[in-house]
Amino acid sequence: MFLWGTATAAYQIEGAVAEDGRGASIWDTFTHEPGRTRDGHTGDVACDHYHRWREDVLLMSGLGVNAYRFSIAWSRVLPEGSGAVNPKGLDFYERLVDGLLEAGVTPVPTLFHWDLPQALEDRGGWLDRDVSGLFAEYAAVVAERLADRVPTWITLNEPFIHMAWGYGLGLHAPGRALLLDALPVAHHQLLGHGLAAQALRAAGAREVLITNNCTPVWPASDSGEDLAAAAAYDTLHNRLFNDPVLLGAYPDLSAYGIRPDGAAGEGPELSAALGIRDGDLAVISAPLDGLGVNYYNPTRIAAPADDVLPFTDAGVTGYPTTAFGWPVVPDGLRELLTGLRERYGQALPPVYVTENGCSQDDELTPEGVDDQGRIAFLRDHVAALERAREEGVDVRGYFVWSLLDNFEWAEGYHQRFGLVHVDFATGERTPKASYGWYRDHIAAALRP
């Protein structure tokens, strides 16, 4: 059955950051540092999903989704990232899973959606290879409790974004600005994925996925310089995280000038700089049951403006934009999906679009929220997905980001992606017009 779902992430909706034994995550630390988030917003309360999850399950039931992608907060289960398990944390996720199943909604948990326990960041975070093994131990703890009821698991969410924005540019937690010196974070996350996949399968998990943020890369012109820059960006953003998982090999980063500062050469020298050891790629490339793909927009790339990075983001022009300023290019989803099939062929497992959605300046009126722009966005992207399926891509699910307006990372509460409006002062939920559109679309799609 095709999965029609919606998605959230723990730090963005749960709140209750200091309740029932939860430990601190890097986002707790980051958001309380002055200047890190817009207007100093934090996820301390967010949507208060920790206390209002039953209400949110009812919203999903009314929506008619048959799957819900959410994330588990590592530090709610293991407050120090390893060692002693917090039973109350596991109890919360067990209640949520059981509530979803009772409502006829398949739970699809993601084990890591950027909220690394602060205790592990204090020892180096994803720059520390040992965190990969600790991630697998955490996966085993969660799966031991839930794998008998949860069929499909996602290990990591968007490791490129976490590496680039969290460790490379410092725009997200943990706020490090290492540029290409952040590259070992890529390998250690992917190694963690592979080790966690082993742990999940050992505990009885039936399906294991990874979710990558992917983007079609468009050169700014046909010049050799822009084409080379686009190839470099495509390698860093897309291939660095898909090739090892699907093909068992990293792309040739050195061919595009992508290497940590001071790392010379290629082959063994570059592998050593990235932290790659014998046997790692066999772990990373163990067969997957599906590839999660998050799509928001294409990326237009030009030749580098300096010698810091081998490309420049030239911005996509000529399209409408969301409230976030992101270009709205529905056919980019078809381009992305067919491009994955062309690149990976038989190595590409079934694909799930695990995030797709848009931010709008929604206005709550006595009549509700009439978000016609979001309806058009979803309608056109679902149509693009269907075109990709008609062209032979094995797509098996579509998850709207997001069920609820939520804490949108460094933007705080200024970007609303939800099908349901949230009053962050009171927590009151109000389904938007897009909720009704998606409900009707799902009902029609699932009708015998």
Residue tagged active-site, from 14, 335, 355, 408: 355
Helices (H), 147-239: 159-161, 183-202, 224-234
> Dihedral of the CA atoms 191, 193, 195, 200 (nearest 10)?
180
Q: How far apart are CA 398 and CA 400, in angstroms?
A: 7
Contacts of 235 (CB under 8 A, 6+ apart): 251, 253, 256, 258
Q: How far apart are CA 43 and CA 35, in angstroms?
A: 15
What per-residue string of b and e applies to 417-430 under the rule 16 or more CB within 10 Å gives b?
bbbbbbebeebebb
Contacts of 448 (CB under 8 A, 6+ apart): none
Q: Which of 11, 19, 125 is nearest to 73 (CA)?
A: 11
Q: How far apart are CA 114 and CA 166, in angstroms?
A: 9
Contact between residue 110 and residue 70 where contact means Cβ atoms under 8 Å apart: yes
Q: What angle do CA 327, 26, 297 make, to 5 degrees?
A: 10
Helices (H), 235-276: 240-247, 268-274
Q: Which of 292, 284, 291 is nearest to 194 (CA)?
A: 284
Residue tagged active-site, from 14, 121, 158, 408: 158
CA 172 to chain centre: 13
Q: Is 55 a catalytic residue?
A: no
* Locus of tokens 């269907």: 386
> Dihedral of the CA atoms 226, 185, 409, 34 (nearest 10)?
-110
Q: How do strand 207-213 and strand 351-356 relate by DSSP bridges?
A: unpaired
Q: How do strand 290-294 and strand 395-401 relate by DSSP bridges?
A: unpaired
Sign of CA pseudo-dihedral 416, 420, 422, 427: negative
Name the burial class of residue 366, with classes exposed (0-12), middle (13-18) and buried (19+) by CB atoms within 10 angstroms of its CB. exposed
Q: Which of 72, 92, 94 is nearest to 149 (CA)?
A: 94
Q: Is 158 a catalytic residue?
A: yes
Active site residues per annotation = 158, 355
